[in-house]
A = this chain, B = another copy of it.
Amino acid sequence: MAVYTQLGPEQVSTFLAHYDAGELVALKGIAEGVENSNYFVETTKSRFILTLYENRVDPADLPFFYALLKHLHEAGCKVPRFIPDKKGEWLQNLAGRPACLIEFLQGVSVTQPTSAQARATGVALGQMHAALTDFALQRPNSLGLSSWRKLAGQCTNAGLDGIKDGLAARIEAECDYLERHWPENLPLRAIHADLFPDNVLMLGDRVTGLIDFYFACTDALGYDLAVTHSAWCFASDGSRFHPELSRNLLGGYDSAHGIDAPTRAALPIFCRGACLRFLLTRCYDWINTPANALVTRKDPLAFLRRLDFYCDDANISELMGQLGNAFEAG
Contact = CB atoms under 8 A, between A and B. Distances in A.
Interface of A: 1-3, 6, 8-10, 12, 24-32, 40, 42, 106-112, 203, 290, 292-296
Contacts of A24: 108
A40 B10 CA distance: 22
Nearest to A204: B23
Nearest to A28: B30
A106 B26 contact: yes
Contact of A108 (B1, B3, B27, B294): B27
Nearest to A42: B106
A108 B9 CA distance: 6
B25 A108 contact: yes
A40 B28 contact: yes
A30 B29 contact: yes
A112 B9 CA distance: 9
Contacts of A295: 294
A292 B216 CA distance: 31
B106 A294 contact: no
A299 to B, nearest CB: 14
Contact of A10 (B6, B107, B110): B110
